[in-house]
């Protein structure tokens, strides 16, 4: 199946109250595991590529080529979107689109609102010409590298009126408002802004995106989905599952040296982690609108 944009899968998810997972690609094994999980669960899926991982994985064209080759190799029949996660500039988003990505996130949230809107509008115009979808961010979803504690995240909530203006002036396809989630492992109990989440969904009419989906309690995930969250980003949980499987294998087989011997169980662990998230999000069996 050819790569698709996120637009239709997220609109359907928001309408039917389920979410599609964005699972980040860290290497070949992650890509294989995520695609196999989607095929097994008959779930639409979003393959996310963080900007920092582009040089590590050999560049945008290599990543897109690898994904397309694996889709053909495995005979994947479910909708797959290839998405640039947290693109920091108009230029990197355009490079991703030209490489074959079918969706981009322009993250200009570190700029003032006027600049954020202006950059996002340019990216959206270009992406829509190519049939690609666009995600934008308002507020500031921070991460472990920023040395933030969860309590501080509440002060960075997105403003509802700003979200409405962003949607109206840019034509984006989904929006990621900062509402208390963080990237990386949580330190303390997260405080998601559910009231504002519902308000933003109602006033913008767009599917919402939840970043920092790893480590959130299941009941908070389900509540977010009920309020219009149709895309949930997961990476840390999958990375932990992968690394733990490798550690266990090497502890049990200290003589091992062939990477295949420890990467096979690692890949299995990633796939199981992804499948568990798909079931939680309610996307299992939703490929092609059959459920």
> How many C-beta atoms lie closer than 10 Å to residue 202's C-beta?
11
Rg (CA), the chain: 18
> How many C-beta atoms lie closer than 10 Å to residue 194's C-beta?
15
| Stated length of the chain | 291
Q: What is the DSSP letter of 106?
A: E
Distance CA 14, CA 10 (A): 6
Distance CA 82, CA 31 (A): 11
Give the E-state strand segments of 32-102 in sequence order. 45-50, 80-87
State the catalytic residue, choosing from 72, 85, 162, 237. Answer: 85
- Report residue 271 as tokens: 């796939």
Catalytic-residue membership of 112: no
Q: What Å distances lie between residue 121 and 93, 112, 234, CA to CA?
A: 12, 14, 27
Residues designated as active site: 85
């Amino acid at each position: 199946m050819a790569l698709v944009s996120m637009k239709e899968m997220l609109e359907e998810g928001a309408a039917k109250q389920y979410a599609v997972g964005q699972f980040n690609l860290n290497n070949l094994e992650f890509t294989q595991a995520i695609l196999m999980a989607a095929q097994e669960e008959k779930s639409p899926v979003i393959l996310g590529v963080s900007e920092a991982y582009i040089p590590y994985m050999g560049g945008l064209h290599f990543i897109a080529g690898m994904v397309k080759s694996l889709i053909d190799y495995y005979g994947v029949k479910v909708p797959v979107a290839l998405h640039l996660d947290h693109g920091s500039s108009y230029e990197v988003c355009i490079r991703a689109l030209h490489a074959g990505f079918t969706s981009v996130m322009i993250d200009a949230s570190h700029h003032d609102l006027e600049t954020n809107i202006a950059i996002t509008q340019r990216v959206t115009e270009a992406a829509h010409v190519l049939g690609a979808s666009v995600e934008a961010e308002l507020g500031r979803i921070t991460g472990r590298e920023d040395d933030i504690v969860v309590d501080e995240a509440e002060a960075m909530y997105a403003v509802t009126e700003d979200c409405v203006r962003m949607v109206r002036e840019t034509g984006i396809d989904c929006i990621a408002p900062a509402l208390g989630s963080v990237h990386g492992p949580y330190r303390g109990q997260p405080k998601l802004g559910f009231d504002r989440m519902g308000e933003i969904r109602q006033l913008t009419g767009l599917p919402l995106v939840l970043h920092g989906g790893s480590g959130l309690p299941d009941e908070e995930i389900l509540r977010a989905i009920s309020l219009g969250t149709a895309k949930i980003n997961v990476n840390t949980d999958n990375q932990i599952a992968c690394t733990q499987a490798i550690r266990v294998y090497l502890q049990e087989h200290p003589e091992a040296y062939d990477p295949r011997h420890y990467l096979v169980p690692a890949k299995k662990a990633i796939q199981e982690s992804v499948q568990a998230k798909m079931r939680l999000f309610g996307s299992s069996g939703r490929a092609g609108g059959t459920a």
